[in-house]
Amino acid sequence: MTDPLVSVKGVTVRFDGRDVVRDVHLSVHRGDILTVIGPNGAGKTTLIKALVGLQPVTAGQVVRASDLVIGYVPQQLHIEPTLPLTVRRFMALSGHGDGPCQQALARTGIGHLSESAVQRLSGGERQRLLLARALVRRPDLLVLDEPAQGVDINGQAALYNLIRDVRDELNCGVVMISHDLHLVMAATDKVICLNQHVCCSGFPADISRDPSFIETFGRPVAESLAVYHHHHNHGHDLHGNVVGHSHAPGHCSHDPV
């Protein structure tokens, strides 16, 4: 197993004397898709900001691989309505040439919107624009904070499919926050349930049966989740990492029951 792209070791983030995130441990390898779920105010955004280096930690440490390239997709894009900014110009702010920027836009399905004003994009188009801006960096680690926010149900499924395809193409690691519990169970390899601390973690097929998950989200939510089986053409090590399989590193496939 290769070294992790990033390791979070006992990280605590404290604001005004209150622990927003407390003693969190996690690691992400190439090929992983790790999803952080939890109630509002659980510290999810704070955790991933600490993971990418945007939020100082109070205790613990975040260890990133040397020369790690991170693509970060925030929750929302806030641009002044009167600011004249096209999609092409927004992408140019990444510092990459027009060719790579146009390829990234095409990859996320919005290449035809290059000359459109950013303010006129739909919610789904804006999320794809933010993803394109992250992908133009060809990241080793893709970090997404609620990537399907403001996107309809069909668009959400398509966006999660795109994220999995990108993971396969770049062999990158993916960390994302999601509230879309039904969809995320099909879109991820491992789930971490956060409520300031890690309540529970594991594979999607198991997590909804965990007592801590049921306590956090309620039994009706837990019982309503679709359960997915792993195809066991691979094994898992003691840390839950995928080993000895025929898919891309870290990739588990799932089928609905």
Q: Position of tokens 């919005």?
A: 110
**What was the pLDDT predicted at 154?**
77
Unique residue bearing structure tokens 């927003």? 20
Q: What sections of 172-217 are H helices per DSSP?
A: 181-187, 204-207, 211-217
Angstrom distance (rounded) from CA 222 to CA 4: 31
Place of tokens 């109070």: 58
69-73-79 Cα angle (round to 5): 125
pLDDT in tens, 20-63: 999 999 999 999 999 998 888 899 999 999 999 999 999 999 99
Q: Which domains does the chain have, with CATH numbers?
A: 6-69+139-256 (3.40.50.300), 78-138 (no CATH)
Amino acid letter, residue 239: H
Q: What percent of the chain has pLDDT over 70?
A: 81
Percent of the chain whose predicted confidence (pLDDT) is above 90: 51
- Work out whether strand 18-28 and strand 141-145 pair parallel, antiparallel, or are unpaired: unpaired
Say whether pLDDT at 103 is over 90: yes
Of the pLDDT bands very low, low, confident and very high (cuts 50, 70, 90), residue 224 is low
Least confident of 21-25, 149-153, 179-183, 246-250: 246-250
- Average pLDDT rounded to a whole number, residues 106-130: 92
Q: How confident is the model at residue 84 (pLDDT cuts 50, 70, 90)?
A: confident
CA distances from 27 to 35, 84, 204 (A): 12, 41, 17
Is it the case that residue 233 has pLDDT exceeding 80?
no
Q: If DSSP codes are grouped into helix, strand and coil, which group holds residue 59? A: strand
Expressed in angstroms, the distance from the first to the final Cα of the chain is 30
Q: What distance in Å separates the CA atoms of residue 151 and residue 238, rounded to the nearest whole number?
A: 37
Q: In this structure, are residues 202 and 191 in contact, taking their beta carbons and an 8 Å threshold? A: yes
- pLDDT band (50, 70, 90) for residue 240: very low
Q: Please tell me the predicted confidence (pLDDT) of residue 49.
A: 95
Contact between 253 and 247 under an 8 Å Cβ cutoff? The reply is: yes
User: At 158, phi and psi to the nearest 5?
Assistant: -65, -40
